[in-house]
Amino acid sequence: MLGVEKPIGVTEAAQVPQQRSELLLDAAVRYAEERHWDVFPGTWLEAAGGGERCSCGDAGCALPGAHADRPDWA
């Protein structure tokens, strides 16, 4: 083939480091506590009709997927 070089060699796929016994939730809680962050339930983006919409259900949501889940938790 013209202009195509033969590969030098094949590399192995990157190895994922062995995970610690700490659960992801426990790590997230520790991370937030260490930084003194308040954590509350929020909205998320949902696939809808080839696009995305906010899980709050408001078609005109100004902050889709980026606001508190409950209006009294602002």
Domain that holds residue 65: 41-74
**Residue 21 and residue 62: Cα distance in Å, rounded?**
40
Whether 58 maps to a domain, the answer reads yes
* pLDDT(19) > 80: no
What's the pLDDT at 53?
94
- The total number of structural domains that make up the chain: 1
Whether 20 maps to a domain, the answer reads no
Which residues partner with 46 through β-bridges?
Answer: 53
* Distant-in-sequence contacts of 22-30, Cβ < 8 A, 24+ apart: none
What's the pLDDT at 63?
95
> Tens digit of pLDDT for each residue in 41-62?
899 999 988 889 999 999 999 9
For the chain, what percent of residues have pLDDT higher than 70? 70
Q: pTM here?
A: 0.51
Whether 74 maps to a domain, the answer reads yes
